[in-house]
A and B are shown apart, each in its own frame.
Chain A
């Protein structure tokens, strides 16, 4: 135990004394949040919206009124036909069209559900998707109030169609993505580099020739990064809550559990990488190509998985960040509970066990 504590202390010394790395570790979440979050958020003002409502009733006018009064939206009028709507959109006069079906209220009362179509002009995908998110939120709020009023359970479904660009993006979606990316970078790259550095500098030789057990060393190596990653996770959470206004709708504790699972997974991956390479440079390149790029490309952070070709969809299943991001979205944004994310959690646990197994099998008690 004493050995373990001494080792953890040493690791913290390494990190604390390397100012540049420390700056990167703690500055990265801030920069990423600002980069991704604000670049999207700042432009979304003055959303030009129009309605198509063939059979106006209390509900449809109520919803339309809500949207019109919201300060983010700029009301452009009611359209007379779908053709007119599409024409304005093609000309770039509209960002969002809200289309109500015939007899909205009637179907609502009879079947307990009705669908609203939100058409967004996604030639600017950020603007388009954020318009949809805002409108959906307003409709959801409207529904919430009316559920209390009329005692019948009912549901308004929003059906989103992005015209001209099927890409789905939103700042809500980015926050889980940034979490997935930052944690992956810190855990995988930092852990693997910190072990490989000992190999490269020759200190590993002295450690190996001492009575220190390999397991103790490996476990001690991960502790500081576990702590730092968790701090980063909280930084991202705070920034996205207070600056980007992303809500935490679900259970905070559950969110932490998901984060810890993912951190453990990325740390395990860092350990696996460290058993495969001997040079710090290679550790960085290897981690970056196998961890970072898939997170950016295949996790659903930027490109929605549903729109990927089958091959890539299959490939995305082995990207840990995909499951983490999905779980975080469900808990944080959609406010779902553990019963809805058990699948993601199990997959993450399975991946952890696999990587730890590989690491243990690959860890040597000698130099070769």
Chain B
């Protein structure tokens, strides 16, 4: 269990506030996602939790161990994967794994069952130097290294950044299987569409959690009226929608435009308005928000 209370952290003698009072807890065996853009404070938060940074205020306890006082114990029970690839590029896949196993006083054989699922995919390349692996394989190796000592808590800082959608999906599937083994997982991401893979999420922005709930709970809390507008000439359509006084926001979402509107506006009315502007083929429908819609509504 992770219990975080009122964490504060600032840099440059208080000029830059990285964390502004963060409180949350993660239950045993839960997958908790911290979701927000780069620079929101995700890495600072995680570094405090793995005992690499000291908080300016507040406390964090990992399975009963305080990250400041009991930092040695914390380092024993966590598995940490930092934001960028942090393995030895000039060592082979197997050498990296062996090294990290020894670092935690264990062996590959002892915990092979835990990483088998992931490691098997890169085992054919075990003599290849880590630097010569592709992005997805590097990430699998890094995860294997973070898991090799059978950590109680796994902390992954943006593991899917810069990784293509297919490898990202595979990665989340792996996390799902690790969760079944009872490992508590704290993970951060800038990809909003990954929120649904977590049991609970927190949306972070400028060092604060602006919402924290299950993904469904976050969506249920969405207060605006949200429509999707579909049509050709997207760019012009976007401009036209922004020109309407009852349309509060309008943003492109893939091949559609998501708009929030006031209660007064009827769909027929908007369609009429658009056809006057020569958008004849538009389809308007009320839709359920995504986590990304929620994030944008909360940060607006």
Contact = CB atoms under 8 A, between A and B. Distances in A.
Interface of A: 2-3, 6-7, 10, 13-14, 17-18, 201-203, 205-212, 365-368
Contacts of B90: 13-14, 17-18
B181 interface: no
Nearest to A212: B103
Contact of B91 (A10, A208, A368): A10
A210 B74 CA distance: 9
Nearest to A17: B90
Nearest to A364: B52
Given A6-B103, A13-B95, A210 B75 contact: yes
Contact of B103 (A3, A202, A365, A366): A3
B139 interface: no
Contacts of A10: 88, 91, 95, 99
Contacts, number: 76
Contact of B54 (A7, A17, A366): A366
B105 A2 contact: yes
B102 interface: yes
Nearest to A16: B90
B72 A211 contact: yes
Contacts of B78: 209
B102 A203 contact: no
B14 to A, nearest CB: 14
Contacts of B80: 205-206, 209
Interface of B: 47, 50-54, 71-72, 75-76, 78, 80, 82-91, 95, 98-100, 102-105, 145
A210 B52 contact: no
Contacts of A14: 88, 90-91
A104 B72 CA distance: 78
Contacts of A208: 52, 75
A352 B82 CA distance: 35
Given A17-B90, A209-B80, A211-B75, A6 B98 contact: yes
A3 B87 CA distance: 17
A210 B78 CA distance: 8
Contact of B52 (A13, A211, A367): A367
A14 B51 CA distance: 28
Query: What 5 A-B pairs come out closest when comparing CB atoms?
Result: A6-B102, A202-B86, A209-B80, A367-B52, A209-B50
Contacts of A209: 50-52, 75, 78, 80
A207 B87 CA distance: 10
Given A14-B88, A202-B85, A211 B99 contact: no
Given A2-B102, A6-B102, A210-B75, A203 B86 contact: yes
A84 to B, nearest CB: 69
A10 B105 CA distance: 16
A336 to B, nearest CB: 45
B86 A201 contact: yes
Contacts of B52: 205, 208-209, 366-367
B82 A368 contact: no
Contacts of B82: 202, 205-206
Given A366-B52, A366-B53, A207 B91 contact: no
A174 B84 CA distance: 47
Contacts of A18: 90
A210 B104 contact: yes
A206 B47 CA distance: 11
Contacts of A203: 86-88
A3 B98 CA distance: 11
B55 to A, nearest CB: 11
A365 B105 CA distance: 19
A212 to B, nearest CB: 5
B143 to A, nearest CB: 12
A207 B52 CA distance: 10
Contacts of A368: 53-54
